[in-house]
Amino acid sequence: MRLRTLFGLALMLFALVPLMAVGFFSYQKSYDETLELCERDLEERMDFCLSTCEFYNEAVERGELTKQEAVAKIATLLSGPLQDGTRDIKKGLGKGETGYITGMDSEGTWVIHPYREGQSIYDLKDVELRKNWEKTMNAENREGYEYKWKNPDEKNYYLKVKVLDYFEPFDLHLSISMTVAEFTLSLESMKKVIMGSIIVAVAVGVVASLVAAQRISKPFTDLSAASSKIIKGDLGVRIDTKSRVEELRWLGGDINRVVGALQEKIEGHRKSLSLLSEVLGKVALGELSARVNLKELKGETSFLGDTLNSIISLLEYDTEEIKKEEREFSQAMDIYKDALYKIVQEKDLSVRIDVNRLGGKHKIVGEDINHMVDSLQETIKKVEKREEELRQAIGLYSEVLGRVVTGNTTARVDTKLLSGELQLIGDTFNSIIESLEYYAKKTEEDKSKTKGEKKQKPKQKSKGLRV
């Protein structure tokens, strides 16, 4: 946003905001007082309605009228005469053209109404309207409130004011209401006057603000133009300090001094950057012995050059360390390769890495490889020993089983030649063979016993028959 536009808007706001605030406050205050007057007028009409009910109630008590006749006269007086099922509210005591008075009993049936007498509020299909009338039916004391309402043949709601009260002798819930728009109609002209004044004030304010902004913003516009050139790199530009405003002259002089100092400083920085770039170019080509000449630098650029020299020195040192690491790594890989080739390809597990030829972390790796080979060699020896024990055990098992199969149940596995689980298996074999031997002997004994019993049993003589 341009400065002139900003000044114009500021002047308009300072002029128009108070005017609009006063206009709005005046209208709102008038509206509130008018609405309060409306409610007070409705309450006075409700007082008259109650006085009328009291008058006819005394007539009923004297026996001059029945209760129904009294209510009918009250309805005619308050809500207008009845013609063809409707009442002419213009002849009643309602306020304005839309205001009217109603009355219903505690069961929700209208006793007094312009066009709903005898109907019930529960016949209404609109839930909001029915709730509003239920509030009227439940009122037992004076109440006043605003609410939204619409007639059955209308689409939009509008604001109304209602005052309620209850006359107990006739069980009559009275209400008197009217639309807020009708009562505040007189304020519309005031609203139009306020809006017209604001429009005129806006037009005058726009013209006045444009003229004032043009005169106020010109020095700032010139200053902005010079500043734009300086920002783009034209440090030879200077601000005109011949303004009639003393503060602008001071500001222009300060800016000129700042630009001059900045121009001198930039020239020094350019020279320093040239020196630094030259050294960095040599370092980039691998010449790590290059250094910045600190005598040719000043101020913070001298500190920057010293820092750059330190970085180059560290880089040079790190480069030598990296080369040393590369040499040690190459030597270690050659030693690892020779030893591992013999171990893997030639299967010579007696080969070990000469860790005395290694250093640092490579020596640790060599020791780990040697430990791994030692463990592998030891594992192979254990496996070979285990295989030998298995072959020996299988031979013993086979020999004993062969004897048992041929009937020699006295054969046993010599468990002294075995160890561990193989010895346990041998014991199990011996237990099984002993069981077989026991059952074999018992079977022979049973057979022998059976044969002896057959020999000892006498033969019976057969008896002949006499003829």
pLDDT tier at 328 (50, 70, 90 boundaries)?
Answer: confident
* pLDDT higher at 177 or 97: 177
The percent of residues above 90 in pLDDT, for the chain, comes to 6
Region 282-302 average pLDDT: 77
Determine the topology of domain 254-351 in CATH.
Answer: Four Helix Bundle (Hemerythrin (Met), subunit A) (1.20.120)
Residue 461 has what pLDDT?
46
Whether the predicted pLDDT of 233 surpasses 80: no
Whether the predicted pLDDT of 145 surpasses 50: yes
Region 332-349 average pLDDT: 79
Whether the predicted pLDDT of 107 surpasses 80: yes
Residue 467 has what pLDDT?
27
Helix or strand run (H / E) with residue 103:
strand 100-104
Whether the predicted pLDDT of 187 surpasses 60: no
**Phi/psi-derived region of residue 97, left when phi > 0, alpha when psi is between -120 and 50, beta in every other case:** alpha
Give the CA distances from residue 238 to residues 4, 23, 215, 216, 257, in Å, rounded to whole numbers and listed in that order: 23, 50, 22, 21, 9
pTM > 0.75: yes or no = no
Give rounded-to-5 percent helix, strand, coil for the chain.
70, 10, 25
Q: Among the listed ranges 207-216, 253-262, 380-389, which one has the minimum average pLDDT value? A: 207-216
Tokens of 248: 């602008």
Mean pLDDT, the chain, integer? 77
Whether the predicted pLDDT of 104 surpasses 50: yes
pLDDT tens-digit readout, 125-144: 878 888 888 888 888 888 88
Amino acid at 38: C
CATH class of 16-191: alpha beta
Whether the predicted pLDDT of 84 surpasses 70: yes
* pLDDT higher at 434 or 464: 434
pLDDT tier at 60 (50, 70, 90 boundaries)?
Answer: very high
How far is the C-alpha of 221 from the C-alpha of 226, rounded, in Å?
9
Q: What is the DSSP letter of 466?
A: P
Q: Torsions phi, psi of 146, nearest 5?
A: -105, 150
Residue 55 has what pLDDT?
92
pLDDT tier at 115 (50, 70, 90 boundaries)?
Answer: confident
The percent of residues above 70 in pLDDT, for the chain, comes to 78
Q: Among the listed ranges 167-176, 291-300, 378-387, which one has the minimum average pLDDT value? A: 291-300
pLDDT tens-digit readout, 245-256: 666 677 777 777
pLDDT tier at 66 (50, 70, 90 boundaries)?
Answer: very high
Indicate the Cα dihedral angle 424, 427, 428, 431, nearest 10°: -160
